[in-house]
Amino acid sequence: MKPYFKPFLLVFLVLLFDQVLKIWIKTNMYLGQEFVIFPDWFIIHFTENNGMAFGMELAGSAGKLLLSIFRVIAIGGIGYGLYYVVKKKFHPGFITCVALVFAGALGNLIDSAFYGVIFGDSYSGVAEVFPKEGGYAGYLHGKVVDMLYFPLIEGHFPQWFPIWAGEEFIFFRPVFNIADMSISTGMGLFILFQNRYFPDQKIKEEEKSTDAGATENNDETVEKPL
């Protein structure tokens, strides 16, 4: 059980912070409300979306259900993958990446699966927990709570800029949550350090490249018959 402790503790902590913050937002803020933490670059802004990372979504009830079902299947696969890489003693850094992605995906699935049943809507005020008239949506049709907003740079595209000439831009515009951040961190770490996580694969690729170069050099030195 010891090898599984750290990755699953990481999953638990990500889920804990993610869900505590989301539940606090749902039970203390109305939709669209915001608190400025640090002027001009960090705002807590309450918004909801139908389920993809950083506010992206599939339209309609059918799209929402399809996305939720896909999430359940994907999370099952990632969860098994986490169990597998721990069991096979993969690089600790790679295990951490898988754990972060799993935790983030599971965190957003909890919103989609249960929040519509647990909470009332947040349009007219702060959401009620288990309202008498029922929640704002059915099982697997809940919306994902987002709140982290970092409008670091605001301005307008220059007039010569194609397509968006003169339009306002904000970087970073998407509003996201801790689960989204966990997924992005896991994927980012994997991209940056994959050669460290799989050094044997890098050596094999280098050996293939060396062998191919040596073969080409040998071919060039062979004299053509008269």
Is the pLDDT score of 188 beyond 70? Answer: yes
pLDDT band for 39, please (50, 70, 90 cuts). Answer: confident
- Grouping H, G, I as helix, E, B as strand and the rest as coil, residue 226 is coil
pLDDT (0 to 100) of residue 107: 95
Domain ranges of the chain: 2-203
- 202 versus 46: the higher-pLDDT residue is 46
Q: Is the pLDDT of residue 19 over 60?
A: yes
Catalytic residue numbers? 146, 180
pTM of the model: 0.81
**How do residues 160-182 score in pLDDT, each as one tens digit?**
888 878 888 777 788 999 999 99
Q: How far apart are CA 162 and CA 176, in angstroms?
A: 28
**CA distance linking residue 42 with residue 83, whole number of Å:** 36
Q: Given the structure tokens 């005020």, which residue do they identify?
A: 125
Tens of pLDDT, residues 69-99 = 888 999 999 999 999 999 999 999 999 999 9
What pLDDT score was predicted for residue 37?
93
**136, 142, 109, 141: which is closest to 128 by C-alpha?**
136
Predicted pLDDT at 102: 97
Tokens (6 digits) for 54: 């950083």
192-222 pLDDT, tens digit each: 999 999 887 555 555 565 655 555 556 555 5
Residue 186 pLDDT > 80: yes
Q: Which amino acid is at 130?
A: F
Helix (H) or strand (E) holding 101: helix 92-110
pLDDT per residue over 148-159, tens digit each?
Answer: 999 888 788 788
Q: What does the pLDDT average to over 8-32?
A: 97
The 3-state DSSP class for residue 154 equals strand
